[in-house]
Amino acid sequence: MEIMSPQNARVKQWAQLLEKKHRDQQQRYLIEGVHLVKEALENGADVECIAFLMERAIPSELASLTSASLAIEWIGVSEAVIAKCSDTKTPQPVFAVVRKHPSTLLAQLLKHKNSLVIVLDGVQDPGNVGTIIRTADAAGAHGVIVGRGSADVYSPKTLRSTMGSVFHIPIVEGDLSEILPMAQDQGIRLAGTSLQSASLCYEYDFSESVWLVFGNEAQGLSGTVEALLDDALIIPMKGKSESLNVAMAASVLLYEALRQREYRR
């Protein structure tokens, strides 16, 4: 199939997915570039269709996957269509439309033995959200919970920042004032960082079920979420910096948890 005109009805619908309200309404989102599309296909994402630049044909990295995805529609498109459906100055020659589905992952995370989960409370920068998802994946966390007020997981910039990890690790979006008490009812401890805390993060026991909670880049945790914390931790800083970027702080705690869980002698 071919679609050359950016005024085509399907193209207009795809382009709407660059905005969150339309992603929510359609329960679909766009991914752009060979790497993300390949990750989606290899990890079983519900890909509806893949659009590729007609004059270049299907990218070689994806060509071997066409037979394994017979239910997916492959559509040759023009540069004008590619440009209309991209938020970058230099669009990639391929993009895909992926369906979202109601998540049952929260129940799995709540029941997971010795779970290590990242919780985001109003983390607004898409790059930070994507980097934290990528780091959680790398460190072997069991999931990421994204609270209201955080950047949309399915925005193009967040998806690019995950580098495909969005397809590797369970991600749940929801109301933290409802989710976090449910975790505590399951015996899961909630830990967050605090500059006022006397508890050094390297002395904390990460071997049991613990959810690590991180707040807004400028204001930190909301009052509602902070009141729910069981443990407040401090990351030591010997220099003059007042604080760490939230993605860096998450990395420090995630890798300390990984060290304790997998590399203790």
Q: Kindly state whether residues 163 and 117 are assigned to the same domain.
A: yes
**Is residue 188 within 8 Å of 209, Cβ to Cβ?**
yes
User: In total, how many domains does the chain have?
Assistant: 2
Q: DSSP 3-state assignment of 177?
A: helix
Q: Which residues contact 58 (CB under 8 A, 6 or more apart)?
A: 52, 66, 74, 94
Residues 86-98 have pLDDT tens digits of 999 899 999 999 9
Look at residue 265 in the predicted model and tell me its pLDDT. Answer: 67
| Beta strand pairing call for 116-121 and 28-32 | unpaired
**Where among 99, 126, 152 does a domain terminate?**
99
pLDDT at 70 over 90: no
Which residue(s) pair with 77 in the sheet?
Answer: 3, 53
Domain extent at residue 196: 105-262
Sign of CA dihedral 33, 35, 38, 39: negative
Q: Kindly state whether residues 113 and 90 are assigned to the same domain.
A: no
**Is residue 143 within 8 Å of 172, Cβ to Cβ?**
yes
CA distance 145 to 211: 9
Work out the pLDDT band at 68, boundaries 50, 70, 90: low
CB atoms within 10 A of CB 116: 24
> Which residue from 265, 260, 264 is spatially nearest to 140, judged by alpha carbons?
260
Q: Kindly state whether residues 48 and 30 are assigned to the same domain.
A: yes
Work out the pLDDT band at 69, boundaries 50, 70, 90: low
Q: Kindly state whether residues 37 and 109 are assigned to the same domain.
A: no
Half-sphere exposure of 240 (CA within 13 A, CB side): 0
> Which residue from 207, 191, 197, 199 is spatially nearest to 250, judged by alpha carbons?
191
Q: Which residues contact 118 (CB under 8 A, 6 or more apart)?
A: 132, 133, 136, 141, 143, 144, 145, 211, 212, 214, 250, 254
Q: Kindly state whether residues 246 and 140 are assigned to the same domain.
A: yes
> Which residue from 63, 67, 41 is spatially nearest to 52, judged by alpha carbons?
63
Give the chain's length.
265
Residues 137-194 have pLDDT tens digits of 999 999 999 999 999 999 999 999 999 999 999 999 999 999 999 999 999 999 999 8
Residues 184-230 have pLDDT tens digits of 999 999 999 987 777 899 999 999 999 999 999 999 999 999 999 99
> Which residue from 66, 39, 42, 68 is spatially nearest to 52, judged by alpha carbons?
66
Q: Kindly state whether residues 109 and 90 are assigned to the same domain.
A: no
Q: What is the pTM of this model?
A: 0.94
Residue type for 177, please? Answer: S
Looking up tokens 């955080």 gives: 150
CATH of the domain at 150: 3.40.1280.10
Higher pLDDT, 250 or 102: 250
Q: Kindly state whether residues 116 and 171 are assigned to the same domain.
A: yes
pLDDT at 26 over 70: yes
Q: Kindly state whether residues 88 and 208 are assigned to the same domain.
A: no
**Is residue 257 within 8 Å of 139, Cβ to Cβ?**
yes
CA distance 179 to 159: 24
Work out the pLDDT band at 66, boundaries 50, 70, 90: confident
Q: Kindly state whether residues 64 and 112 are assigned to the same domain.
A: no
- Element (H or E) spanning 182, and its range? helix 176-185
Half-sphere exposure of 178 (CA within 13 A, CB side): 9
**Where among 37, 69, 99 does a domain terminate?**
99
Q: Kindly state whether residues 113 and 228 are assigned to the same domain.
A: yes
